[in-house]
């Protein structure tokens, strides 16, 4: 019990020290929904000052602490100067954002780094759907993981004697994700008069985005039935198949960290390679992203390309859904750089990927040509991948979600202390102090 009291006392002294530093967090755009508001509230409770810049009415609607809200109604061109002004006025020490590639965030990250301001980046989990990503400085192609080898990860893990965190038993926030997305775009569509200069970072109008969200919500029962039927046809077909893990064409990972201009370019390369290299009794299954909304005619393009290469009867399309049932029987997986590929690696499946991704390590991702991969794919080094996965779970991957109430509570219990810590999660592990476990000292 004395050890427990000592640990708690140390924790309180550490937080007290952090508070005396007068950390000032400036929030930019976050995930749809109330997560950023809850995070700001928790940081204020820890003694930090918190401010939020909003770029549209959707940002404003989910930030309920009006005294700390700063509307930005200027143009994109004027944003860098306004940000420098805010940093000086508020004495900002930390910048918080979701994704680091949209224009307002890319400018902000560059300015923050030039002034030695800590940049906290949230993203969807590299090991989603049960975890979210928290890193400093950058995520995805800008992550520190890009320059960290498996050998370096193993050295950081060598003195740990704790087991891997268990996979959570339940995940079900896709409907909440879609609901908050639709609500956010409703605010931008109908109540955005104050923000006349706002321009979305995607290439379609906000009205179209809202319509796509609402249509998908309305057709969920029909999409579910189509998905179930397609999945059962594949599972009962008795044929070997390769699984293509599709992404959203407008997603930052595909757009900013991949080599393809359009999804159609990727589909063409994949189907041509399959037609030339795969045994004639093998099939190819395309699984769309769970949030695919129809803005890109993926199904039509797949049918057209499959007919062109003479494999129309061996190519299948599944609308979204969970991966496990399809992955469990697949022979291999192919993607641009989807985080879903990590579920394939966890199962020891051969993986072919393109572009830039944190898991593109030579130990477990194939370097074969597309044709050679479909002919005889090389298997990953499963031990290397498990060490890599362990490293992520001890550093950047945090249990919880942005969209469900229980997921947000679980996430906040861990991430606030990580943000207040002077150490980056990767540096903490290198020093023998895993970020997730610092408060879990052994009680004797």
pLDDT tens-digit series, residues 273-317: 999 999 999 999 999 987 777 678 899 999 999 999 999 999 999
Is 232's pLDDT higher than 70?
A: yes
Q: Identify the residue with better confidence: 435 or 412.
A: 412
Strands 69-71 and 49-54 turn out to be parallel
Is 442's pLDDT higher than 50?
A: no
Does the N-terminal peptide bond of residue 190 adopt cis geometry, omega within 30 degrees of 0?
no
Is 150's pLDDT higher than 90?
A: yes
- In the predicted model, what is the mean pLDDT of residues 353-366? 94
What b/e sequence results for 204-226 when a residue is b if at least 16 CB atoms lie within 10 Å of its CB, and e otherwise?
eebebbbbbbeebeeeeeebeeb
Is 171's pLDDT higher than 70?
A: no
What pLDDT score was predicted for residue 355? 86
Note whether 104 and 79 are within 8 A (CB): yes
What pLDDT score was predicted for residue 19? 41
Q: How would residue 441 be classed by pLDDT, with cut points 50, 70 and 90?
A: very low
Q: Identify the residue with better confidence: 127 or 315.
A: 315
Which ranges in 279-381 belong to alpha helices (H)?
Answer: 298-308, 324-327, 341-346, 370-375
- In the predicted model, what is the mean pLDDT of residues 3-19? 40
Q: Which long-range contacts (CB under 8 A, 24 or more apart) does 164-169 make?
A: 164/389, 164/390, 164/393, 165/393, 165/399, 165/436, 167/130, 168/130, 168/399
In terms of average pLDDT, the best of 302-316, 322-336, 419-433 is 302-316
d(CA 251, CA 235): 29
What pLDDT score was predicted for residue 349? 96
Domains of the chain, first to last: 24-171+396-431 (3.40.50.20), 200-388 (3.40.50)
Q: Tokens 């820890």 label which residue?
A: 46
**Average pLDDT for the chain:** 87
Is 10's pLDDT higher than 50?
A: no
Is 429's pLDDT higher than 80?
A: yes
Q: Identify the residue with better confidence: 121 or 159.
A: 121
What pLDDT score was predicted for residue 206? 67
Reduce the DSSP state of residue 243 to 3 states and report it. strand
Alpha carbons within 13 angstroms on the beta-carbon side of residue 417 total 18
Q: Give the H or E element holding residue 24.
A: strand 24-27
Strands 315-318 and 283-287 turn out to be parallel
**Residue length of the chain:** 444
What pLDDT score was predicted for residue 437? 56
* 5 CB-near residues (< 8 Å, 6+ apart): none
Note whether 82 and 72 are within 8 A (CB): yes
What pLDDT score was predicted for residue 439? 41
Least reliable range by pLDDT among 212-226, 366-380, 428-442: 428-442
Alpha carbons within 13 angstroms on the beta-carbon side of residue 166 total 3
- In the predicted model, what is the mean pLDDT of residues 308-336? 92
What pLDDT score was predicted for residue 164? 63
Q: How would residue 185 be classed by pLDDT, with cut points 50, 70 and 90?
A: confident
What is the percent of the chain where pLDDT is above 70?
86
What pLDDT score was predicted for residue 236? 87
Is 132's pLDDT higher than 80?
A: yes
Give the relative orientation of helices 382-393 and 150-157 as an angle to the nearest 10 degrees. 60
What pLDDT score was predicted for residue 13? 37
d(CA 82, CA 202): 23
* 237 CB-near residues (< 8 Å, 6+ apart): 283
What pLDDT score was predicted for residue 214? 72
d(CA 417, CA 420): 5
Q: Tokens 């903490």 label which residue?
A: 428
d(CA 111, CA 160): 37
């Amino acid at each position: 019990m004395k050890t427990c009291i000592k640990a708690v006392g140390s924790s309180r002294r550490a937080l007290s020290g952090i508070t005396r530093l007068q950390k000032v967090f400036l929030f930019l755009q976050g995930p749809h929904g109330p997560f950023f508001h809850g995070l700001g509230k928790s940081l204020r409770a820890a003694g930090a000052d918190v401010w939020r810049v909003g770029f549209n009415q959707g940002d404003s609607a989910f930030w309920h602490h009006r005294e700390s809200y700063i509307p930005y109604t200027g143009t994109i061109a004027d944003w860098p100067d306004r940000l420098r002004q805010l940093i000086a006025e508020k004495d900002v020490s930390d910048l918080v954002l979701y994704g680091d590639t949209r224009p307002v965030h890319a400018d902000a990250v560059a300015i923050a780094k030039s002034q030695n301001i800590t940049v906290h980046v949230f993203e969807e989990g590299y090991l989603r759907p049960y975890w979210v990503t928290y890193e400093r400085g950058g995520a995805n192609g800008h992550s520190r993981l890009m320059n960290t080898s498996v050998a370096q990860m193993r050295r950081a893990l060598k003195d740990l004697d704790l087991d891997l965190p268990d996979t959570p038993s339940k995940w079900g926030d896709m409907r909440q994700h879609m609901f908050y997305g639709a609500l956010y775009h409703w605010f931008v569509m109908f109540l955005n008069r104050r923000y006349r200069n706002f321009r979305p970072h995607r290439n379609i109008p906000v009205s179209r985005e809202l319509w796509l969200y609402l249509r998908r919500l309305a057709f969920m029962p029909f999409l579910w039935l189509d998905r179930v039927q397609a999945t059962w046809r594949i599972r009962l077909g008795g044929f070997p198949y390769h699984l293509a893990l599709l992404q959203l064409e407008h997603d930052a990972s595909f757009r900013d960290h991949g080599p393809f201009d359009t999804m159609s370019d990727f589909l063409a390369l994949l189907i041509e390679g399959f037609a030339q290299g795969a045994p004639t009794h093998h099939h190819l299954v395309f699984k769309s992203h769970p949030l695919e909304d129809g803005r890109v005619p993926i199904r039509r393009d797949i049918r057209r390309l499959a007919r062109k290469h003479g494999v129309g009867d061996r190519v299948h399309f599944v609308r979204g859904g969970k991966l496990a049932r399809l992955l469990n029987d697949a022979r291999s997986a192919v993607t641009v750089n989807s985080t879903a590929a990590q579920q394939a690696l966890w199962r020891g499946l051969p993986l072919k990927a393109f572009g830039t991704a944190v898991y593109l390590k030579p130990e477990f991702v194939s370097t074969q040509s597309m044709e050679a991969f479909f002919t005889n794919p090389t298997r990953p080094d499963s031990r290397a991948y498990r060490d890599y996965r362990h490293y992520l779970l001890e550093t950047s991957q945090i249990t919880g979600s942005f969209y469900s109430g229980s997921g947000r509570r679980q996430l906040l219990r861990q991430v606030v202390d990580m943000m207040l810590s002077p150490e980056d999660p990767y540096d903490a592990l290198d020093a023998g102090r895993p970020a997730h476990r610092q408060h879990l000292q052994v009680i004797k």
